[in-house]
Amino acid sequence: MSVNPLATCQICGRELGTVNVDYHHLMPKTFKGKSDETNLIPLHRACHRACHAFLSEKEMEKYYHTVERLLEKEEIQKFAKWIAKKPPEYYVGTDETAERKKKRRR
């Protein structure tokens, strides 16, 4: 699946560009979410990481499985407002421990 570089990120509203773009499964793969155009949305890598930092996969499965619902989350709103001022290619990686990764699935 290719992404139009002029498309906008559905979290922050910035142009996606061609670097640091990820695909987010609205219904997590862990819970049988499909890898097709009905379930995948292109996001900036930083915005994608924020979704997973603020929500567990279980929360995504139960409630936050649409863009509108993701944007209801106060932490994601704050993040989107902050990152909207950055250039589209902006990304700062974070270290993730195995323990934290395990907690995301709960």
Examine residue 105 and state whether it is found in any structural domain, yes or no. Answer: no
Confidence of residue 40 (pLDDT cuts 50, 70, 90): very high
User: Using one digit for the tens of pLDDT, what is the confidence trace for 53-96?
Assistant: 999 999 999 999 999 999 999 999 999 999 999 998 888 776 65
The answer to whether residue 5 sits within a structural domain is no
Range of the domain at 52: 21-99
Output the DSSP codes for 23-46.
Answer: EEESS-GGGT--SSTTTEEEEEHH
In-domain check, residue 9: no
Tell me the pLDDT of the chain averaged across its residues.
88
Q: Which residue has the higher pLDDT, 99 or 49?
A: 49
What's the chain's length in residues? 106
